[in-house]
Structure 1
Amino acid sequence: MLFVLGMLIASIFPLSLVSAQEPHYDIIIVRNDNLIDYIIALPYAAKLEVPILPVNPTQLDEQTKAQLYSYVQIGWKEALIVGNAQAISPEVENELMILGFNPKRIGGDYRTETAEKLATHFYDHADTVFLASALDYGSALAAAKFAMEYNYPILLTLENDLSEPAELGLKKLEVKQVIMVGAGLSPTIKEKLESEGYTVYWYGKNVEPLPLHKEEPKSPYTYTLIGALIALAVSIPIVVYYGKKRWSANVVPVEVLTEKERIVVEAILKAGGTVKQEDLPEATGYSRPTISRIIQELEKKQLITREKIGKTFVVKMIKEIRL
């Protein structure tokens, strides 16, 4: 059946319409103590229409873990980590895997190298790139805004000389036009680019509109037929797959819990999975107000339910905790 549909699709749509598959991610992870990685990730987040989450670069806090786990629950699995192991630690990468993500890391020893690796990861070819200083966050942010608007990659350079990663990115992407962004860049960069055959426009020295045209929004009907055929081909396997996977959504890793939450959960499980809330202070050693706050947090994480019976609440675990 799938083979027949594949042949039908191939006969209807010329091979020339099929482009290389773009990288797919559900979320982009960047460090929260340095703005530059967030800035250079912006065009690619816009391209994929996915969010960027800044995190502690050494270890995920409990709130972030809970937030990330909620994303896993709705089917997000592919995470892009921006930066090398010095930017975001291997511990964070490991925590993402424990939570259920499939993390991929893209980064270099320098921010100029990270920018080049991201650009060439998301683009096989680009007629135009935006070039900004790796040290001028304002200019880099402006370049990122343009990159989002015109769907082109961004590269970073030194202010006084063209960085080696930027040169490498220009060659890999087979660039024809470079748009320099920021008045702080050196004229020698423009001269070097022009001597190598690039058309250069310097936004910062010039204030007139950019020499670019924005892409027209794609028609929602362009690939209606191919989408319908593919949906028909894969719908049954998807239903079967999620039927098999459904049970795993009820298994929660212990890492999403704070230490106090873990102790309360252990007390509930020790009581058989159902316990009166009024019995938890004695079982855990925590005060009633503390228990009340913890129970509320566990409810927010959709790990328990509470039912009022008489004058007390009965707490029941509704998901399995992987202790």
Structure 2
Amino acid sequence: MLRSVPERCWTRPALPTSPDRSYRGGGIPLMTSPGSMPSLADVLDPSRCVILPGAYDALSAMLVQEAGFPAVYVGSYATAASGYGLPDVGALTLTDLVSHAGAVAGAVRLPVIADAEGGFFEPANIWRMVRAFEDAGVAAIHIEDHAGGKHTNLPQKLIPLDLMLQRLRAALEARRRPDFAIIARTDAIWATQDLDEARHRLKAFSEIGIDYLFANGAHPDVLRQVRREVPGHYITINLPTVRDRNEWNGAADLVIDYGFCLQAATKALQTALKRFRTTSQADQTDALIEHADRFEDRLGYRAFTDRAVAYSATSN
């Protein structure tokens, strides 16, 4: 049964202000068993309206968790920029995205939503993509129908719907964990400004058993209309034209601001580097950085020291 979208926005109470090794694992890479892995369904509760800032690597994902958000998103845009210094124009391989998403998933105890681009394979081989992300420890992936020109002024194209449906069917059937979420994303609104085509595709996705529908580029008012016609759990990206994120209440179950952490860190680092270059006074730059003790404790240095002492051999 589908759950209604609440009329209020929810955020999880903040985690402790000092690093709590119980929620990260004491600096040990998390090896979460499939039975205990958090799922996207755990986040999309009837009482919650979730807006996520996109992470760009494992450390930023830890900060997202520390700030009290209930899930982590890592997409190809942030992966390309932070991992490779590249634009998000289809240059990344499946291995690139899976490796990056796996590092993120290993650093947090939250469900991680990852970007699987267009699926990377034809339907008969798409199981390899699904299994790779499952093995990486992520909770959900989205598969898109954007065939080219993304983030550019080049001609925009969509993957033919019949091929998209076959890829999605193959992805659903390839899952080993039933709670591993396959999110079907259409860029018909964002890429081609075709609302009717978006409706048509979202309906087709739903009819083959997709529960999570990603209507990229839809304004809150448009999304409210679409979800009345095609029931489902709706995901979308935050739009620059939406100046108050509460406007998404009642429109989407999950809204992703995919570049937030990446762009916030870029601006903060530019400010810090400019200050560092223009002054020799440490007092002027120390205010712009986190204290080393706090930073290192988050990563588990203290916990490592405790383990090293506990496991060291003693002799008389």
Same fold per superposition (TM over 0.5) = no
Q: Which structure carries more strand by proportion?
A: 1
TM-score (norm 1): 0.27
Ranked by relative contact order (alpha carbons within 8 Å, sequence separation 6 or more), the top structure is 2
Larger radius of gyration: 1
